[in-house]
Amino acid sequence: MMTDMFAVPYYAVIFTSTRTTQEAEAYEEAAHRMLELVREQPGFLGVESTRGEDGLGITVSYWSSEGAILAWKENPEHRAIRERGRSTWYRHCTTRVSKVERNYRYSA
C-alpha cells in the first residue's frame, strides 16, 4: 500500500525479515491483526509492506514521534506477536528507526 506524504519531520520504522515456512496461516492472521491494531495507535501515520517469494520482507511504518513508536513497541498484544515471530515465523529480522527530514515523490 502506498502512503501519503507526511509533514516532515516524522519517523520511519524499517522492519526487514526473512520468513520461515512454519505456521503460514497463523502468521497471516497475526499480520492482519497487527495492521488492525496499529491503525488505532496514536501517532501512527501509515505503512508500506512487501514480501518476495524468497521470504524476504520489508515493512516500513511511519510515525509522528519517537514516543508513539515506543508506545507501539510496548503494546501487550504487539509484544506477544513480536515474540512469536522471533520464536517461530522469522529466521532473521532487523528493526531500524530513522527520522525523516526530507521526502520526494515521482509518479508517472
Predicted confidence at residue 3, as pLDDT, reads: 58
Q: What are the angstrom distances between the C-alpha of 85 and each of 37, 81, 92, 94, 99?
A: 16, 6, 10, 12, 25
Please report whether residue 55 resides in a domain. Answer: yes
Predicted confidence at residue 24, as pLDDT, reads: 93
Please report whether residue 87 resides in a domain. Answer: yes
Q: Please state the rounded mean pLDDT for residues 29-47.
A: 97
Number of domain units in the chain? 1
Please report whether residue 4 resides in a domain. Answer: no
User: How far is the C-alpha of 20 from the C-alpha of 18, rounded, in Å?
Assistant: 7
CA-nearest of 91, 93, 88 to 23 is: 88
Which pairing describes strands 10-19 and 90-100: parallel, antiparallel, or unpaired? antiparallel
pLDDT of residue 5 exceeding 60, the answer is: yes
What is the span of the domain harbouring residue 59? 10-100
Residue type, 45: L
Residue written as grid cell 526487514:
16
pLDDT of residue 1 exceeding 50, the answer is: no
CATH number at residue 95: 3.30.70.100
Please report whether residue 36 resides in a domain. Answer: yes
Please report whether residue 32 resides in a domain. Answer: yes
Predicted confidence at residue 47, as pLDDT, reads: 96
